[in-house]
Structure 1
Amino acid sequence: MKSIVILMFALIVNEVVFGQSTSLKISQDKRYIEDQDGQPFLWLGDTAWELFHKLNREEADHYLTKRAKQGFTVIQAVVLAEDDGLGKPNAYGEIPLIDLDPKKPNLKYFEHVDYIIEKAEKLGLYIALLPTWADKVPNNRPGIDPVIFNEKNASIYGEFLGKRYGKRNIIWILGGDRNIDNDTALGVWQAMAAGIKKEDQGRNLMSYHPAGENSSSSYREDWIDFNIYQSGHAHRYMPVYRFAEKDAEQFPRKPFIDAEPAYEDIPVRFWKYIDWESKEKVPVQILDKNNLLKAKSTHFKEGFFTDHDVRVHAYWNFLSGACGYTYGNNAVWQMFKKGGSFTIPCLTDWKEALNRPGAHDIKHLHKIFSIFPLGMFKADQSLILNTYGTDNTYISSALAKDLSFALIYLALGQAVKVDLHKLKGDKIFTFWYNPRIGKLSTPTLITQTGPFEFIPPSSGINNDWLLILTTSDLIQVP
């Protein structure tokens, strides 16, 4: 344990470095993803849905390099994108398919996809690759593009992708913000999955991205190696732990990830305030000359998700058993450029959004869960003795499998009473980790066992804290 603590202090003061890429697999206990060396893989994703579609190579280099430095490990991007992905050309004037036919990929378009995937791999990043946004498969929520897939062409398209990218560091994600709501759609996704696996030969993991407040665990498909849920954007303090608890009880057991929680800077319940039938979508007077939302606009009456929401949902997910978390920013997912069109109005353009506070918080997440890898602990709410609610007062906790440490997240810096009997030994060393700046306090020694109340250094909105309790002699580490 002493070596872990030395690593702790080293990581607190140093930047996250680029890692080496390997193919991934499911751990033996089916609780997390691991690399070829059997080490837990920390999924810290970013939703860059329009990456292939809207950025040129210089822009893509800038984006990927920035995200790698910030501690991200996975980039989620779509080949046939949501925003008129079939009809609107990419940065080089290329559309992905000839005659809207999945059997006729435009290789010029895919050369750009090749470049981005290879660049990501050089930076130690994985691309979670969506073959298509799900509006192009039969569903009950039409998008801009037509439905173009059937079982036959889905299989052929899957084979094309599997052969082209099967040896790259890819994680396959079928779907795209749609549930599988009819047998025809199910047949298409099954055919696409089979086509990919035929050429990929099972090298890379696969999952499915559902609609908001749903999980892929509903489908129980053999080709789904790990489950994805989208906790969504309905309100602040989404009970993401409920999704985790539900997926943890599924059989057969599979790891699970919140691959689309609330995005930083996206309006809360944005769909209530957008006229999807209108060309403008929102009143033009709330936008400035760059098509950005004016600072004083109150059109979105429930406000916007913030970096605080990012941290809350991330820690609630991880300490509830999730093996990954995906960040998102409203401007980045759609790669919004000043003066351009938007799907949902933005506060900044995509480049400025790369430096939003929630994105920098990912680096701090990376640090703490590199120190305490996912395979070392599991969710355990029995540590918490005081009453906690199901909104902003919820307290999430996890206990080491060997009982040597506990992690407790306090969204509002609220006092917490902990059952110290749960940890082995009669000496407990207490650390406070500030998830906003990635700083660790000096340790405090507690020599009693049983119930003990901990008071964080500060409390209230934007005063969240991670309480770390350990049983090793950390006080002696220089």
Structure 2
Amino acid sequence: MKHRTLAAVLATALAAPLTAAAAPAPGLTPLEISPDGRSFTAGGAPFLWLADTAWGLLASGDPAEVEHYLDVRAAQGFTVVQTAVPAGGDWARVDTAVAEAAERGLRVAITPAQPDPGLGPFLGERYGDRVVWVLGDGSGDDAPEWSAVADGIAAAAEPDPLMTFAPGPGGSSSDAVGAVEWLSFGQFRSGPCSAVGDLVARLRSRPPVRPVLDAQPSYEDAPACAGPGRTEAVDVRRSAYADVFAGAAGHTYGHHAAWADDPAVRAAALVDEGATQMAHLRALTDSRSARTPAPRLLTEGTAGVLRGPDHLMAHAPAGEGFALDTTGLPGDALRAWWFDPRTGEPVDAGSVQRSGSTPFFPPVTGPEDAELDWVLVIDDVAAGLAPPGRQ
């Protein structure tokens, strides 16, 4: 089976003739950087970057398949489609895809084929701030040439669109281009067997303050990072929650067979278990605003911890118990929930007593559940919040 990777798509892509063209009709509210510089907003509301890497989308010659893909990803809760410019540079096709995605509430992040002279002003004039630009071919090379493209986009677009640089394996945007003004948010590539939370924390610590994203984690159904076998839903799910609970502005999902040559394989990949479960992460973050990492509240065990104004959340990646310092949480009474990342269902865990090290144990119904991840949510009862994952 042949799979279309980013490198394969870009290797066959050709730059379009850079002729003047009318910009596509306005779509969704453009994305902006949040006031604290750590995440995204859309129309002033918090926005979770939950992207799918659809590298072959714009090269597809079947409009019905493109529409079906967008329908499914929108229904699964994705918010961004990340793709590459099509072979031959058919910008009318790009216009259509951007408009079709916008109709379904999806933003589009696009990687141009190559840093041709004049490309930046062309893209800036044509798309304004309606597209997010992910510059570079994923090798980490040619950063100066892509910086020139970015400067051209920024000069021609009004207002400025969001832009980033696609880093090479094991690298980050900041490593490649430095603290350039046009870099709206930073990316890194975790890949398989990486300590994702540590990578997020490391990039967040680098000035200037900007959102951080994992550009290419381990894909679903990809070769396992150690030993035989393939990655499964639990692997991509743990990676996604590790990103968000370490303070990333979202997560980028991918499936190894999403753009295989066989249409039946592509169709099955589109609804694989891990992709479907991304909707639960979206529902959880829509129901709770916690985005600030609070690792100091973890007093024992392993968990990523986020704190909000009237609640906190902790993700236990392997179903093991852990302990939290609950003394500083607001309110007279605290209520806990367990949120199941596999089903999106909340489980009432009752009241919580304050202490410097309160133990918590995920609900385990049998041996097959012993290593599965769970999310603990603790709310100030007076805040009147709905169960996690519910509006």
TM-score category by the smaller chain? 0.7 to 0.9
Give the conservation status (yes or no) of the 8 Å contact 1:257–1:323. yes
Kept in 1, the 8 Å contact 2:136–2:143? The answer is no
Q: Which residue of 1 aligns with 2:23?
A: none
Please state how far the C-alpha of 1:40 moved relative to its aligned partner: 1.2
Residue 330 (str. 1) matches residue 256 (str. 2): yes
User: CA offsets per residue over residues 214-258 of structure 1, 9 Å max, x none?
Assistant: 21122222110111111113x2xx211111111111111111111
Q: 1:28 aligns with which of 19, 35, 58?
A: 35
Is 1:399 matched with 2:307? Answer: yes
Matched, 1:204 2:161: yes
Partner residue in 2 for 1:172:
133
| 8 Å contact from structure 1 (residues 23, 203) kept in 2 | no
Q: How far apart are residue 166 of structure 1 and its match?
A: 2.0
Q: Which runs of 5+ in 2 are unaligned?
A: 1-26
TM-score (norm 2): 0.85
2:338 is paired with a residue whose SS is: strand
Alignment CA distance shift 1:190-1:114 (3 Å): same
Q: Does the 8 Å contact 2:287/2:386 carry over to 1?
A: no
Q: RMSD between aligned alpha carbons?
A: 2.2
Alignment of 1:11-50 (within 5 A): 21-36=28-43, 38-50=44-56
Q: Deviations over 1:143-186 (max 9, x none)?
A: xxxxxx5xxxx34122222222225x311110132113xxxx23
- Summarize the alignment of residues 229-240 of structure 1 with structure 2, pairs less than 5 Å apart: 229-233=188-192, 235=193, 238-240=194-196
* CA spacing shift, 1:44–1:55, aligned 2, 3 Å: farther
Structure 1 SS opposite 2:286: helix
Q: What does the per-residue CA deviation read over 1:54-96, in whole Å, with 9 as the maximum and x for residues that have no partner?
A: 342111000001100100000000005xxxx4xxxxxxxxx33
Counterpart mapping for 1:185-204 below 5 A: 185-204=142-161
Q: Quick one: which amino acid aligns to residue 397 of structure 1?
A: V
Measure how far apart 1:302 and its partner are.
2.9
Distance apart, 1:444 and its partner CA: 0.3
Residue 213 of structure 1: how far off its partner (Å): 2.1
1:364 has 2:273 as partner: no
Q: Does 1:110 align with 2:94?
A: no
User: Contact 1:426–1:449 at 8 Å: present in 2 too?
Assistant: no
C-alpha distance in 2 between matches for 1:462 and 1:61:
37
Please state if 1:465 is matched with 2:374.
yes
Change (3 A) 1:462 1:73: farther
- Structure 1 residue 466: Cα displacement: 0.2
Matches within 5 A, 1:187-336: 187-218=144-175, 219-233=178-192, 235=193, 238-269=194-225, 301-332=227-258, 335-336=259-260
Q: Secondary structure at the match of 1:75?
A: strand
Residue 41 of structure 1 and its aligned partner are, at CA, apart by 1.0
User: 1:351-376 CA distances to partner (integer Å, 9 max, x unpaired)?
Assistant: 11111011111110110000113xx4
- Mapped contact 2:331–2:382 kept (Cα < 8 A): no
Whether the 8 Å contact between 1:155 and 1:194 is mirrored in structure 2 is: no
Distance 1:111-1:320 versus aligned 2 partners, 3 A rule: same
C-alpha change, 1:248 and 1:158, in structure 2 (3 Å) is: same
**Could you tell me whether the CA contact under 8 Å between 1:429 and 1:474 is conserved in 2?**
no
Go from structure 1 to structure 2 and tell me whether the alpha carbon gap of 1:462 and 1:356 turns closer, same or farther (over 3 Å shift): farther
1:96-175 matches, within 5 Å, as 96=89, 109-132=90-113, 136=114, 149=115, 154-166=116-128, 169-175=130-136
Counterpart residue number, 1:382: 296
Cα offset for 1:267?
0.8
Q: TM-score, normalised by structure 1?
A: 0.70
Which of 78, 84, 92 is equivalent to 1:72? 78
SS at match of 1:421: coil
What amino acid sits opposite 1:324 in the alignment? Answer: G
- Residue 11 of structure 2 corresponds to none
Contact 1:57-1:116 at 8 Å conserved across structures: no
Letter of the aligned partner of 1:170 in structure 2?
Answer: V
Give the Cα separation in 1 of the matches to 2:51 and 2:361.
Answer: 32
Distance 2:131 2:210 in 1: 19
Structure with bigger gyration radius = 1
Report runs of 4+ in structure 1 exceeding 4 Å deviation: 459-462, 473-478
1:106 aligns to what?
none
Separation (CA, whole Å) in 2 of partners of 1:220 and 1:407: 32
Q: How many residues in Structure 1 have an aligned counterpart in Structure 2?
A: 356
Q: What SS does the corresponding residue of 2:378 show, helix, strand or coil?
A: strand
Query: What do the CA deviations read for 1:250-282 (whole angstroms, capped 9, x no partner)?
Result: 11111111121110001135xxxxxxxxxxxxx
CA contact (8 A) 2:379 2:385 kept: no
CA distance in 2, matches of 1:462, 1:160: 51
Q: Which amino acid aligns with 1:356?
A: D
**Aligned pair in 2 of structure 1 residues 474, 445: CA closer, same or farther (>3 Å)?**
farther
Q: Is residue 362 of structure 2 the alignment partner of residue 436 of structure 1?
A: no
Structure 1: distance between partners of 2:313 and 2:200:
17
Return the alpha-carbon distance in structure 2 between the equivalents of residues 380 and 129 of structure 1. 33
Q: Distance in 2 between matches of 1:476 and 1:367?
A: 14
One-letter amino acid of the counterpart of residue 453, structure 1: P
Displacement of 1:475 in angstroms is: 8.7
Counterpart contact for 1:264–1:307, Cα < 8 Å: yes
Cα distance between partner residues in 2 of 1:46 and 1:461: 29
Asked if the contact 1:383/1:422 (under 8 Å) is kept, the reply is: no
